[in-house]
């Protein structure tokens, strides 16, 4: 089998102190996807990758030498190592352009609007993003990390020990900044719907959720509110053909 078939994305981008690294090996991409979830022992990586120990050992050494991963002795057996990722994951790059989108339609949409500064900034954001996507480049990890940083900075101005009031503050902020209309669909599990989403409404159909910035923003806000890490998953999105965006906070 062609090893390129082992990976959904043929190329991934990582940033290290040594510079930008382009990873195009499906085996390395698999290893790094496992390490982005959590640190893992060598035998665990071998088992989950389905590759021979010698193959995994060779790729781990290259990734370590390039400064993309790190390792530490296994406290249960000093002869073995536990591996972790130390580089910053920047995004995915496909060798094939995902689609061809006429960017003029975004400008035309703005011209047909009321010409507000908000609509112009939406135009800028979506034009840049569509341009990148049309070239096969996904920058979702960067947008997600940016959302986390904004959320951590924003939290003190929205915090409230009362969960209902806290979510009301979030909804009020989204509305006042024209980020969308927030509704709480359920409490257990906590599900939030966003209508007229700034980040993705107007994007072409992508076949996958696109609100990486909002996901990071909500993750930071609710992690700070509950004082423990929270996972946020987007299950519906305008970019998948839905009429709103849905986020589940776990």
148 with 249, same domain: the answer is yes
Global confidence as pTM = 0.66
149 with 206, same domain: the answer is yes
User: What three-state secondary structure class fits 12?
Assistant: strand
Residue pLDDT, tens place only, 156-198: 999 999 999 999 999 999 999 889 999 999 998 999 999 999 8
- Total domains in the chain come to 3
Residue pLDDT, tens place only, 24-74: 888 998 999 899 889 999 999 999 999 999 999 999 999 998 889 999 999
Question: Degrees (nearest 5) of the Cα angle 171, 172, 176?
Answer: 120
Q: What is the CATH classification number for the domain harbouring 71? A: 1.10.10.10
164 with 235, same domain: the answer is yes
Tell me the residue range of the domain where 216 lies: 140-250
Specify the DSSP class assigned to residue 82. E
8 with 66, same domain: the answer is yes
69 with 130, same domain: the answer is no
What is the C-alpha to C-alpha distance for residues 191 and 247, in angstroms, rounded to an integer?
6
**Phi then psi dihedrals of residue 63, to 5 deg:** -65, -35
233 with 168, same domain: the answer is yes
In a domain, 95, yes or no: no
Beta bridge partners of 74: 77
């Amino acid at each position: 089998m062609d090893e390129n078939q082992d990976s959904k994305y043929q190329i991934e981008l990582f940033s290290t102190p040594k510079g930008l690294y382009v990873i195009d090996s499906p085996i390395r991409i698999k290893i790094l996807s496992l390490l982005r979830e959590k640190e893992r022992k060598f035998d665990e990586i071998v088992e989950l990758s389905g590759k021979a120990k010698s193959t995994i050992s060779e790729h781990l050494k290259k990734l370590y030498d390039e400064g993309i991963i790190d390792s530490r002795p296994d406290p249960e057996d000093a002869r073995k190592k536990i591996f972790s990722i130390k580089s910053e994951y920047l995004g995915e790059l496909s060798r094939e352009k995902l689609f061809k989108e006429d960017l003029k339609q975004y400008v035309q949409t703005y011209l047909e609007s009321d010409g507000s500064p908000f609509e112009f900034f939406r135009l800028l954001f979506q034009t840049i993003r569509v341009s990148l996507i049309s070239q096969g480049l996904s920058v979702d990890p960067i947008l997600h990390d940016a959302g986390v940083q904004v959320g951590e900075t924003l939290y003190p101005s929205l915090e409230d020990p009362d969960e209902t009031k806290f979510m009301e503050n979030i909804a009020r902020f989204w509305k006042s900044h024209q980020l969308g209309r927030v509704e709480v669909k359920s409490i257990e599990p906590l599900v939030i719907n966003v209508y007229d989403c700034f980040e993705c409404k107007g994007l072409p159909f992508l076949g996958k959720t696109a609100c990486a910035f909002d996901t990071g923003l909500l993750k930071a806000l609710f992690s700070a509110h509950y004082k423990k890490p929270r996972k946020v998953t987007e299950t519906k999105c305008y970019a998948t053909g839905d009429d709103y965006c849905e986020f589940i906070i776990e």
